Amino acid sequence: MKKLFIIALKDVRITFRDRAALIFMLLAPFILTLAMGLVTGSFWIGSSSGISDIPVVLVNQDSGQLGIELVDVFKSEELAGLLEPTEISDPSQGRHLVDEDDAAAAVIIPAGFTDSIIPSAGSFNQQEQSFSGEVVKIEIYTNPLRPTSVGVVKAIVNEFINRAEVVRIGGITAITQLLASGLITPQDAQKAGELFGEEQGRILEKGTSILIKTTLGEIQEPVKVNVLSILAPSMALLFLMFTTTNGGRSILSERAMGTLPRMLVAPTSTSQVLGGKAIGIYLAGVAQVGILIFASALLFQLRWGDPLAVAVLILATVFGASGWGMLVAAVCRTPGQVASIGTALMLTFGILGGSFLDVESMPPLVQAMSRLTPNSWGLDGFTTLALGGSLTDILINALALLVMGVVLFTIAVLIFNRKGLVER
Amino acid sequence: MSTMLEVQNLVKKFGDFTAVNGISFDIKEGEIFSLLGPNGSGKTTTISMLSTLYTPTSGDATIGGHSVTRDAMAARQIIGVVPQDIALYEELTARENLVFWGQMYGLSGKALNSRIDEILEQIELADKAKNRVKTFSGGMKRRVNIGVGLLHKPRLLFMDEPTVGIDPQSRRSILDTVKDLNKQGMTVLYTTHYMEEAQELSDRVGIIDHGDLIALGTQDELTHQVGQTDTLILHIGENDDPATLVEAIRSIPGVKLAETSLESAPGQIDHTVSVITPSAEEILAPIVAKASEHAIKIRSLDIQEPNLEAVFLHLTGRALRD
């Protein structure tokens, strides 16, 4: 066991003495974070400005209660600092404003939305004793250049829809039961539905405080988020992949340099060498992300969230990323191949993982693929924590990353065992 | 003297290529044994198997009674390895390298530090201990490379062509170090393609070529195989073709063997011709005449007593190549 850490610490020491590697590991993420912060216009060190005044276009074509309710949510006092809603009547104009980057998103509430939620007599099927009809969907037309703002708008709409869905299912269940038991007639169903909807609407109204992180659990007040707290982990995770693949490359570099064979002719087993290298990759990654987070907290005054949860997420994310580093090293034959594939992987994962674009605006297949990247789980987790989430909220992310790491490490070790660390 | 290393029918194949073809030899405790052979003859592959890095295709070897195939960890405790290529971490200092490798051999604490101090004195780099290896000259790196192999005071030291590509001064220093270590009781297996090094250092020599051990014995035993012969080394003009001269010399009565020697690289013509003859004096005049006949200028000429180069030439019909 001791030798594992001797090998690992040697690797960490060498990594942090490599100026070129340090530029990629630490300097590049900072520069990109700053650059993207400036581009988005949200970078003001020391200011309290974060994600605020998000321009949202609201198009309410629904004459019912829920449409009005959703508009009210966007215009509520609780979200006044966060959102800058504009209500218009023409959906195409709303989409145009988004296309022109004058708005982060257009929330288009179609006609019949309320009716599709609240049960009515017209939708009652006498024979099946149930309500029919499909729910009319709200359209959120999003601006891919503003992924974070879009995420906030989606969070609000999703929360509202979740609540409305509860209302709908509750209403249908209640009225169906009343009809089935003969307490009301089908003719009375519409009236009953309207009364039910009004009552539930009042309940919704009382609890209007839909906050951008409501889905994360109980909160007391709205959370202000600095966009850099999204950008900084994006860039940290992007360049984490460089560190882990670079670490994987060191296995093949050491083989070429002769230091790996030299370790293997010392009283050291293959598993000790491989384990030491893997721990070295992991520690370098943890150190990199840790330094970036600590430094960005100091320099940009970012709030990363619950320190314990952040630490857990760092450990889990680096574990998943290290698995990829080991796998790349295992399948490649030369350090050059690792460098090429590592760079490609870093960029691909950066895109798929949401470091550059909003993954939710991409096709479902791409969204599914993004879940294969540590970037996606990690970024999702860091965003959750920055929005006020707790350790419980990122447990699934951490678990997914740990599973990812275990699977990839296992595959890498099997490949190394089959190929041999050196040509034998 | 007890046997430190015993090699039995060691074979190593890479696909269809046989790198080592069933070699057997032993090394007594306290001996310097050289494996002499040209590049690609199987020296490094042999050392790689003996140091447990490569698994033999067949055969086995024991080091201090421990099989390299069945008891590799125990064998590794006994051996020190100085690889042909410099296997150090350039970003670490000389001392940091020695600390790391010492730890790999299970050394720690004061014992490790005092041993490192000894090694640094021995390789004459005590004043450079805190400098990164990447700032060292090739010779200095070679010395650290050797120092790493000595850290745990191995009973048997494998040195794989440790003087390749270094300046004469560093080479001298390394050869003296090997002799000092041997005086202290260390057994050494030394591989080289430099005949002079094998001659200077070795108690016994094994000559290896194309994976076969073609001769084995003391230097006297080996040169005796060649018989009472002289070796003429002819240095010719840069624009002259040695192959033409070799063909001409072979027709002279009394010439046992004539060959261009020290072919540096494929396609590169070296301007030296080696000739083996029972009497150099008798064939000198005909050689000069043949050279003149083909308009080849002989710039200088050496006459050597029987040596390992002649043995190799005698056994293979080829000169030891650089």
Q: Average pLDDT, stretch B66-81? A: 92
Q: Range(s) for CATH 3.40.1710 in chain A?
A: 54-216
A3: nearest CA in chain B?
Answer: B104
Instruction: Map out the domains of chain B as residue ranges.
Output: 3-223, 228-305
C-alpha closest to that of A94 among A81, A109, A75: A109
pLDDT class of B11 with cuts at 50, 70, 90 = very high
CA A130 to each of CA A117, A124, A186, A194, A347: distance values in angstroms, whole numbers, following the listed order? 14, 6, 10, 17, 51
C-alpha closest to that of A273 among A410, A419, A421, A408: A421
- Chain B positions touching A262 (Cβ under 8 A) are 81, 83, 87, 101, 148
Contact present, B83 and B148 (Cβ < 8 Å): no
Q: Is B66 on the interface with A (CB under 8 A)?
A: no
Q: Average pLDDT, stretch A258-284? A: 91
Residue-wise DSSP of B220-261 = HHHHHHH-S-EEEEEEE-TTS-HHHHHHHHHTSTT--EEEE-
pLDDT value of position A199: 60
Contact present, B48 and B14 (Cβ < 8 Å): no
- In the 3-class helix/strand/coil scheme, how is A170-187 assigned residue by residue? HHHHHHHHHHHCCCCCHH
Contact present, B98 and B38 (Cβ < 8 Å): no
* Per-residue pLDDT tens digits for A129-158: 555 556 678 888 988 777 677 878 888 888
Residue numbers of B between 94 and 153 with CB closer than 8 Å to A:
96, 100-101, 103-106, 148
CB-closest option in A17, A265, A422 to B91 = A17
Q: Average pLDDT, stretch B304-317? A: 79
Q: Is B78 on the interface with A (CB under 8 A)?
A: no
CB-closest option in B51, B85, B92 to A265 = B51
Q: Which residue has the higher pLDDT, A310 or A225?
A: A310
A420: nearest CA in chain B?
Answer: B54
Q: The pTM is what?
A: 0.68
CB-closest option in A6, A258, A424 to B54 = A424
What is the spatial distance between Cα A194 and Cα A179, in angstroms, rounded to a whole number?
15
Q: Residue holding tokens 């509860």?
A: A166
- Chain B positions touching A263 (Cβ under 8 A) are 104
Residues 6+ apart with CB under 8 A from A8: A276, A277, A279, A280, A282, A283
What is the spatial distance between Cα B84 and Cα A312, in angstroms, rounded to a whole number?
45
Q: Which residues pair with A156 in a beta bridge?
A: none
B51: nearest CA in chain A?
Answer: A265
> 3-state class of A371 per DSSP?
coil
Cβ–Cβ below 8 Å for A266 and B55: no
Q: Produce one character per residue of B99-133: b if its CB has 16 or more CB atoms within 10 Å, e if not.
A: bbbbbbbebeeeebeebbeebbebbebeebbeebb
CATH number for the domain running over B228-305 = 3.30.70.920
> 3-state class of B146 per DSSP?
helix
Pairing of strands B58-63, B3-14: antiparallel
Cβ–Cβ below 8 Å for B83 and A261: yes
Which residue type does B275 have?
V
Q: Average pLDDT, stretch B132-140? A: 90
Residue numbers of B between 213 and 242 with CB closer than 8 Å to A:
none
- Which residues from A are below 8 Å from B when comparing CB atoms? 3, 6, 10, 13-14, 17-18, 257-259, 261-269, 422-424
In B78-153, the DSSP E strands lie at 79-82
Which residue type does B262 have?
L
Burial class (CB in 10 A: 0-12, 13-18, 19+), B320: buried
Cβ–Cβ below 8 Å for A267 and B101: no
ipTM (interface pTM): 0.79
Burial class (CB in 10 A: 0-12, 13-18, 19+), A39: exposed
Neighbours of A349 (CB within 10 A): 24
pLDDT class of A196 with cuts at 50, 70, 90 = low
Contact present, B82 and B159 (Cβ < 8 Å): yes
Predicted confidence (pLDDT) at residue A216 exceeds the cutoff of 50: no
**CA geometry: angle A53, A85, A393, nearest 5 deg:** 65
Cβ–Cβ below 8 Å for A262 and B83: yes
CATH number for the domain running over A54-216 = 3.40.1710
A269: nearest CA in chain B?
Answer: B73
Residue-wise DSSP of A387-405 = TT--GGGGHHHHHHHHHHH
What is the spatial distance between Cα A89 and Cα A108, in angstroms, rounded to a whole number?
9
Mean predicted lDDT score pLDDT of chain B: 88
* Per-residue pLDDT tens digits for A101-135: 888 899 999 888 887 776 654 555 555 555 555 66
Phi, psi of B265 (to 5 degrees): -160, 155
> 3-state class of B189 per DSSP?
strand
Cβ–Cβ below 8 Å for B55 and A422: no
B12: nearest CA in chain A?
Answer: A424
Q: Which residue has the higher pLDDT, A206 or A96?
A: A96
Q: Which residues pair with A61 in a beta bridge?
A: none
Q: Which residue has the higher pLDDT, A356 or B120?
A: B120
Termini Cα distance of chain B: 35
Q: Average pLDDT, stretch B146-172? A: 89
Which residue type does A344 have?
A
Predicted confidence (pLDDT) at residue A213 exceeds the cutoff of 50: no
Burial class (CB in 10 A: 0-12, 13-18, 19+), A261: buried
What is the spatial distance between Cα A141 and Cα A157, in angstroms, rounded to a whole number?
12
pLDDT value of position A365: 85
pLDDT value of position A18: 82
Mean predicted lDDT score pLDDT of chain A: 79
Tell me which DSSP letter residue A227 carries: T
CA B167 to each of CA A373, B163, B164, B174, B186: distance values in angstroms, whole numbers, following the listed order? 52, 9, 9, 11, 25
A257: nearest CA in chain B?
Answer: B87
What is the spatial distance between Cα A165 and Cα A162, in angstroms, rounded to a whole number?
5
pLDDT class of A7 with cuts at 50, 70, 90 = very high
What is the spatial distance between Cα A218 and Cα A208, in angstroms, rounded to a whole number?
14
Structure tokens at A193: 């539905």
> 3-state class of B132 per DSSP?
strand
What is the spatial distance between Cα A35 and Cα A228, in angstroms, rounded to a whole number?
10
CATH number for the domain running over B3-223 = 3.40.50.300
- In the 3-class helix/strand/coil scheme, how is A249-279 assigned residue by residue? HHHHHHHHHCHHHHHHHCCCCHHHHHHHHHH
Any idea which of A219-233, A290-304, B304-318 has the lowest mean pLDDT?
A219-233
- Chain A positions touching B87 (Cβ under 8 A) are 257-259, 261-262
pLDDT value of position A163: 75
Q: Which residue has the higher pLDDT, B294 or A217?
A: B294
- Choose, out of A259, A417, A419, A422, the residue to mutate when testing the contact with B (most B CBs < 10 Å): A259
Nearest Cα of chain A lies from the Cα of B49 at a distance, in angstroms, of 9
Nearest Cα of chain B lies from the Cα of A248 at a distance, in angstroms, of 17
What is the spatial distance between Cα B187 and Cα B158, in angstroms, rounded to a whole number?
9
Q: Is B87 on the interface with A (CB under 8 A)?
A: yes
Q: Average pLDDT, stretch A90-96? A: 91
Residue numbers of B between 179 and 198 with CB closer than 8 Å to A:
none
Long-range pairs of B183-186 with CB within 8 A, sequence gap ≥ 24? B185/B30, B186/B30, B186/B154, B186/B155, B186/B156, B186/B157
Nearest Cα of chain B lies from the Cα of A3 at a distance, in angstroms, of 7
Q: Given phi > 0 = left and psi -120 to 50 = alpha, else beta, which region is A378?
A: alpha
